[in-house]
Structure 1
């Protein structure tokens, strides 16, 4: 697999500073995502596409597999928050609903970034299953959002050790920090002060991490599309 040269890495990382600034409007993010993703696509272009097999969608190998893994999770989250925003009478207050729209826009931006970066190496759109979620219930929405955000944070934490390219690792660090902000907000909406309790932060002050296999097993009830772990870095 082709690796970035140091100068290419630096150019990509400098571009991502502005790209992933949480203060940017979603429209601006998406405008620059294509340009920022071009650097990532240099690596993608050097890898053989082999995303499908008889056991379901194959994410790929090496860093491409990890990027597709992250793309799959962002698809799930974006679909969930899109449904929340589109459902009337959710029980959320107007202020809470506005926050969920912001989170939706973040997740859509993350999803589109990975899609643009991976280009023809990207997996297809996943079919989700939200039949167990009551989108008209505030409690159901918050509980699901908490589960998805905590899972997302642990997924990025766990994937860090599997990423070979430093540019990807920095990008993952920027995205997981946004996911952690989401998780903290959702937790405090449920129970004020629970944003960093012992269920997610250990005695060393470290957040939980999960392997791709653990994460996809937890997410499986919400994803109809079969996803294969074949070739994906794991531990």
Structure 2
């Protein structure tokens, strides 16, 4: 137990150092970002059509996603949502449905949840500061795990629970990690896909920094799930099902991978599979696939339309649904019609 406490103390110290760096980053870039918000325009094409958007439009799209992640993690880690002063802005401000504190049994998972929650809340504050009066308000968000909740709808679509079952991400450490898994990979691909649309260097640097943090978060979630999945292979199976469901929503291209990848297993690799022990029946899990990459070792990208397909939980061209029951705020708000 002393080793666990040492790890937690080290993580707490790292959080303090990160907050000090974050304050410096805000003061250094915030004023410049406010002054340049909306100054540049570019052509932005999707299969649904073409539109012209500003850098501020792209960052507001990201802000909607950060509201979603920040609220989920804040409730799971601390039992409360974001402060009301961080929810105002242009567009219709909505409320959060669902969300509660997880009674964590693993102190490391609890620490990860608190750390990620603080990061996501900081992303919301940073983007709101950068956008100034152009920042969109938090839209209505559904993070409920009840029968009509967005998490349950996502889990049913993935086959993680049956058609009459529910999925509550706040009921256990494992369910919390699976709930986080639904978001984290999407956030990484969203920032990577949006970054080429940003013309202002200050905004681009900020977006690159947030992308890196989201990638760290995804790696924490994926690594922890894989480690727990060695003893409980159903967790790893669930990640494959969730990844397949995301792929089915965002089009025919394979942009997602679970925690194991058969293509990474070599017949000459003695570590290609792991046999679990201590179970009634021996089971194996495939080689780890902590970092989902293409054949060139590069992370995947999603268009804004594809990201909205996933968070709206639809293959259709839509302006609302799923985790955003009334849609997102801002100019970019329509998902892409998928075949």
2:113 aligns with one of 100, 108, 114:
100
Range with greater deviation from structure 2 (158-167 or 187-196): 187-196
Compared CA separation, residues 108 and 230, structure 1 to 2 (3 A): closer
2:327 aligns with one of 218, 222, 226:
226
Quote how far apart the aligned CAs of 1:203 are: 1.4
1:26 aligns with one of 6, 14, 19:
19
Report the RMSD for the aligned CA atoms in angstroms: 3.0
Q: Is the 8 A contact 2:56 2:134 kept in 1?
A: yes
1:207 maps to 299
Q: Is the 8 A contact 1:128 1:224 kept in 2?
A: yes
2:37 aligns with one of 40, 44, 56:
44
Quote how far apart the aligned CAs of 1:40 are: 0.5
Compared CA separation, residues 116 and 191, structure 1 to 2 (3 A): same
Q: Hey, what's the Cα distance between the residues in 2 that align with 1:210 and 1:219?
A: 12
Q: Hey, what's the Cα distance between the residues in 2 that align with 1:176 and 1:106?
A: 12
Quote how far apart the aligned CAs of 1:140 are: 2.1
Compared CA separation, residues 158 and 198, structure 1 to 2 (3 A): same
1:84 aligned counterpart, secondary structure: helix
1:125 maps to 138
2:17 aligned counterpart, secondary structure: coil
Higher relative contact order (Cα pairs below 8 Å, separated by 6+ residues): 1
Compared CA separation, residues 185 and 108, structure 1 to 2 (3 A): same
1:222 aligned counterpart, secondary structure: coil
Quote how far apart the aligned CAs of 1:43 are: 1.5
> Could you list the runs of 5+ residues in structure 2 that have no partner in the other structure?
1-13, 41-51, 80-99, 146-150, 152-167, 231-258, 261-287, 313-321
2:190 maps to 155
Compared CA separation, residues 231 and 80, structure 1 to 2 (3 A): closer
2:280 maps to none
Q: Hey, what's the Cα distance between the residues in 2 that align with 1:231 and 1:184?
A: 28
**Which has more radius of gyration?**
2
2:182 aligned counterpart, secondary structure: helix
Per-residue CA deviation, residues 199-222 of structure 1 (Å, 9 max, x unaligned), is 821111011110011112211211
| Greater helix share, structure number | 1
2:97 maps to none
Quote how far apart the aligned CAs of 1:99 are: 1.3
Quote how far apart the aligned CAs of 1:226 are: 1.8
1:103 aligned counterpart, secondary structure: helix
Q: Is the 8 A contact 2:192 2:300 kept in 1?
A: yes
- How many residue pairs match? The answer is 202
1:24 aligned counterpart, secondary structure: helix
1:65 maps to 57
Compared CA separation, residues 212 and 182, structure 1 to 2 (3 A): same
1:170 maps to 205
Q: TM-score, with normalisation over the residues of structure 2?
A: 0.53
2:122 aligns with one of 109, 120, 133:
109
Per-residue CA deviation, residues 159-208 of structure 1 (Å, 9 max, x unaligned), is 01111112221221111111101100100111039498288211110111
Per-residue CA deviation, residues 128-184 of structure 1 (Å, 9 max, x unaligned), is 101234112222211111121100000001001111112221221111111101100
Q: Hey, what's the Cα distance between the residues in 1 that align with 2:21 and 2:57?
A: 27
Q: TM-score, with normalisation over the residues of structure 1?
A: 0.75
